[in-house]
Structure 1
C-alpha cells in the first residue's frame, strides 16, 4: 500500500521555466552558451540532456560549475514562479487522504522551502535534495532506508527521463506528468509506469 508520495519540484509542481530561461540567458554570455528563446522550448523538450547540451553549446562537464550559479539566480526570482494549475488542489486532496508528501529534487532545499512558504503550501512534510542532477536514485534509496519503507510503499511523480531512470534503479514506480520539461515522445521509450496530462489523473491512479 502506498504511504508516501514523492514529488519532483521543477516542471512537476512548480512552473519555473521562465525563471530558468532567464537565469540561463544571464550566464550565456559569461560561459559562451547559446541563449534559449521561448520559441525553442517545444524542440528542446524532445531532446535528451546530452542533445540539449550540444544544441546550446554547453559542455556537460561544466554542470557542477554552472548549476549552483543557475540556482542562485533562480532564488532571486522565486516570487515569479507559480504552481501549475490544479497542483495545490491535488496536494491538499492527497494530504486529506492520508498520504505523506515529500519533495525530492535537484534544486536547492532553500529555494524549494522559500517557494512553499510564498505559496502557502503546508502539505509537504519533507524536502530532500540531491547536489547532483543525476543523483535522485541515491536520495530515494536513503529515504526508503531511513523510514524503513519498501519500494511498493512509495510512488514518485516527475516530468523528466532522468526521474524515470532514477526510479527504475531503486526501484519504485513513477507517474510521469506531461506538463513539465520532457516531452511524451522523449519519455515513452523509458517506459514510465504511468503517464498523465492533468493533475486530477494522479488521483485516479492512486
Structure 2
C-alpha cells in the first residue's frame, strides 16, 4: 500500500455535521455581531475559500478563536444530532486492518470527535490533534507525522475543504478530497488534489490499489 499514515478530517469527511452547522450559523452570527447568511447565499459560499467566506461574513481575525471555542461548546451540547456518514466506520476499520496508521486532525475538540466517532471507531485512531485553528492545520499535520515517524511521502491527508489541501501542501504530503462535505464538489474538483473520492465506498479500493 502506498500510504502508511492517513490523516483524516472529521467534519464533512467522516461526520455529517453540515446540517448542524447550517442550523447554528446565524445564531452564532448574532452572538458575535456578524453578517447573517440567507439561504440563497449558502451554495455560493460553498464555492468560496475560507478567506473569502470570512470577508463575506465580516469576521475580523481576532474573533476567530472566540468563535471557534463557542462553536465547540455549542456542538458538545448537540452531539446526538450528528452522525458519521454511512460506511465511514467500516471504511476506517478496513484501512486499519490493512496495516494503515489512522490519525485525526480536526478543528473540533478531541472530546467531541471521540463522541461522534463512538468508542469502538475512536479506538481505531492512533493519534488525535484537535482544536485546530481555522488556518492552523499545517502545524498539526507536521506534529502527527513527526510522532508517527513516517516519511511524508507515505502520508495522505483526507478532507473536504480547500484549507485542508493548502495545509497538506504546506506540510509536503499528498491530499485526497471528498466530494460529500462542506465545500461544493465542483469547487473541490478544481483544486488539483492528488485523489478525489466521489463516494465513501471509493476510499478503500482506491487506496489499497495504490501500491
In the alignment, is the contact (CA less than 8 A) between 2:103 and 2:144 conserved in 1?
Answer: no
TM-score (norm 2): 0.87
In the alignment, is the contact (CA less than 8 A) between 1:106 and 1:131 conserved in 2?
Answer: yes
Q: Secondary structure at the match of 2:175?
A: strand
Deviations 1:87-134 (A, max 9, x none): 122112112212121111121111112222368554223221244121
Alpha-carbon separation, structure 1, partners of 2:147 and 2:122: 24
Q: Equivalent residue for 1:4?
A: 5
Alpha-carbon separation, structure 2, partners of 1:22 and 1:119: 28
Q: Equivalent residue for 2:106?
A: 105
In the alignment, is the contact (CA less than 8 A) between 1:48 and 1:186 conserved in 2?
Answer: no
- Map 1:63-82 to 2 at 5 A: 63-82=64-83
Alpha-carbon separation, structure 2, partners of 1:41 and 1:124: 33
TM-score (norm 1): 0.89
Deviations 1:61-104 (A, max 9, x none): 32122111011101111111011122122112112212121111
Alpha-carbon separation, structure 1, partners of 2:19 and 2:33: 20
Alpha-carbon offset, residue 9 of structure 1: 0.5
Alpha-carbon separation, structure 1, partners of 2:83 and 2:55: 29
Quote the RMSD (CA, aligned, Å). Answer: 2.1
Q: Secondary structure at the match of 1:125?
A: strand
Q: Equivalent residue for 1:172?
A: 173
Alpha-carbon separation, structure 1, partners of 2:120 and 2:35: 33
Q: Equivalent residue for 2:20?
A: 19
Deviations 1:181-205 (A, max 9, x none): 1123333443211111101211222
In the superposition, relative to structure 1, how do residues 93 and 131 fare at CA in structure 2: closer, same or farther (>3 Å)?
A: closer
Aligned pairs, number: 206
Q: Equivalent residue for 2:49?
A: 48
In the alignment, is the contact (CA less than 8 A) between 1:5 and 1:99 conserved in 2?
Answer: yes
Alpha-carbon separation, structure 2, partners of 1:63 and 1:185: 27
Q: Secondary structure at the match of 2:196?
A: strand
Deviations 1:130-187 (A, max 9, x none): 4412111111112222222101222111011011011111111111000011123333
Alpha-carbon separation, structure 2, partners of 1:147 and 1:71: 27
